[in-house]
Amino acid sequence: MRFVDEYRDPTAARALVAQITALAGDDHFKFMEVCGGHTHTIYRHGIEHVLPPSIELVHGPGCPVCVIPMGRVDDAMWVARQPGVIFTSFGDMMRVPGSQGNLLKAKAEGADIRFVYSPLDALRVAADNPGREVVFFAVGFETTAPSTALTLLQARDRGIRNFRVFSNHVTIVPPLKAILESPDLRLDGFLGPGHVSTVIGQRPYRFVPAQYGKPLVTAGFEPLDILQTIFMLLGQIREGRCEVENQYSRVVREEGNPKALAVLGEVFELRPHFEWRGLGFISQSALKLRHEFAAFDAEVRYELPGIRVADPKACQCGEVLKGVIKPWECKVFGTACTPETPIGTCMVSSEGACAAYYNFGRMHREAAVTLGRMRPVPA
């Protein structure tokens, strides 16, 4: 526990908040935390309540469950219902709503849908069921895409021909660009994603300061990591610097994981376009299997309906994902849309901004007081 206490030390937190407050002065700063894991830390520990009013945090698109559009869930359900198919998925995806229900519903109606922990478990199902077609619902950013890639290489090398991948892997840089191009959002910098950066490293973010003049600091997941990252962002701005920096250097390396990047390049190529929930179509933002792996590609094997389904009108996930509105400002937040009956994807994943608010928002004041005992907030 010694280690943990160091990263949640109220004295250190108080000192950092004082420095942040002093650096910010009378100005107002808006920083986006890109990664859903950071969003979770921020709400879990009540960080917004210990920050001065001059610092506003907005939540970004870095939750892979949250950005899957309804049409892809519909396609997944369609594949799962094909005769002879065993459809495998991470547990997180089972409750993500399509336009006609979710994978749990399809399973209840008789489709053979199985949760797996890993794509390697899906490959094992394929090896154990040679007479069936086993489809793996691949989702996630660069954090999970190398795992799918290595699994495909194993399938190929071991001749497991009844294994297919329905790839919905996405990449983190294009949505950042889309957000930076978005006219309705003014940001002063980014808290860069942690785990994705262990794979891609720091170089892919250089366009953020170079082309858009915004600093980006890759952040760890502890409360003090978040505070220190905000301090580093402000420090850059006040010193007139604009760079990519790494607060999470105890895990993230400048060059990322070259082996993982090589495997990604071997198996995947960029799609011309991919639809993101709430963000619309973004060019070269997602990964499809290379031609050499066509035999394993569910999109080649099946003629997917590929129908584009508009997001529900009431749902404002898009604005939440771009940080334009806060989760509680959505019309259906906490009323029609809850973690038990989500309308939007942001309410499904525990790392989605809406679910994080819903689960921990009510604890904010108490958590903030516990973390720092720095600004007791009247109830």
Partner 1 sequence: MCLGIPGQLVELSTGHEHLARVDVSGVTRVVNIGLLEDEHLQPGDWVLIHVGFAMSKIDEEEASLALESLKMMGQAFGDELEAFRLSKISPVA
Closer CB to partner 1, 23 or 57, in the complex: 57
Distance in angstroms (rounded) separating the CA atoms of residues 359 and 364: 10
Which range in 2-10, 227-235, 278-286, 300-308 contacts partner 1 by CB under 8 A?
Answer: 2-10
Q: Which stretch binds partner 1 (CB under 8 A): 52-60, 121-129, 280-288, 313-321?
A: 121-129
12: contact with partner 1 by CB under 8 A: no
Question: Any contact of residue 257 with partner 1 (CB under 8 A)?
Answer: yes
Q: Which stretch binds partner 1 (CB under 8 A): 11-19, 115-123, 270-278, 287-295?
A: 115-123
Q: Choose the binding region for partner 1 from 1-9, 16-24, 104-112, 228-236 (rule: CB under 8 A).
A: 1-9
Question: Under the criterion CB under 8 A, does residue 346 sit at the interface with partner 1?
Answer: no
Alpha carbon 305 to its chain centroid, in Å, reads 26
Site map (CB under 8 A) of partner 1, residues 139-178, x = contact = xx--xx-xx--x---x---x-x------------------
Please report the sign of the dihedral spanned by the C-alpha atoms of residue 358, residue 361, residue 366, residue 368.
positive
Q: Which of residues 45-74 bind partner 1 (CB under 8 A)?
A: 63-65
Residue among 153, 107, 160, 163 at smallest CA distance from 133: 163
CB 252 within 8 A of CB 201: yes
Is 86 a residue that touches partner 1 (CB under 8 A)? Answer: no
Q: In 3D, which of 42, 76, 47 has the Cα closest to residue 62? A: 42
Spatial contact of 250 and 318, defined as CB atoms under 8 Å apart: no
Examine residue 310 and tell whether it contacts partner 1 (CB under 8 A).
no
Sign of torsion, CA 247 249 255 261? negative
Q: Please, which residues bridge with residue 140 across strands?
A: 169
Q: Which is nearer to partner 1, 139 or 234 (CB)?
A: 139
Smallest gap from residue 210 Cβ to partner 1 (A): 27
Q: How near is the Cβ of 229 to partner 1 at its closest, in Å?
A: 15
Q: 85: number of CA atoms within 13 Å, CB side?
A: 25
Contact 296, 167 (CB under 8 A): no
For partner 1, the closer CB: 90 or 205: 90
Size of site (CB under 8 A) for partner 1: 50
Q: Evaluate whether 261 touches 226 at the Cβ level (below 8 Å).
A: no
**How many residues appear in the chain?**
379
349 sits near partner 1 (criterion: CB under 8 A): yes
41 sits near partner 1 (criterion: CB under 8 A): yes
Residue 49's identity, in one-letter code, is: H
Q: Would you state the structure tokens that stand for residue 166, as one six-digit string?
A: 């329905």
Containing 190, the helix (H) or strand (E) segment is strand 189-192
Shortest CB 276 distance to partner 1, Å:
16
- The three-class DSSP label of residue 315 is coil
What's the closest the beta carbon of residue 54 comes to partner 1, in angstroms? 27
188-227 residues near partner 1, rule: CB under 8 A: 195, 198-199, 221-222
The terminus-to-terminus CA distance of the chain in angstroms comes to 31
CB 122 within 8 A of CB 88: yes
Closest separation in Å from C-beta 190 to partner 1: 18
Enter the tokens of residue 161. Answer: 């021909």
Residue 17 lies near partner 1 (rule: CB under 8 A): no
Dihedral sign computed on CA atoms, order 48, 54, 60, 62: negative
Cβ nearer to partner 1, comparing 236 with 345 = 345
| Binding flag, residue 317, partner 1 (CB under 8 A) | no
Interface residue list for partner 1 (CB under 8 A): 1, 3-4, 7, 36-37, 40-41, 44, 63-65, 90-93, 115-121, 123-124, 127, 139-140, 143-144, 146-147, 150, 154, 158, 160, 195, 198-199, 221-222, 250-251, 257, 259-260, 263, 349-351
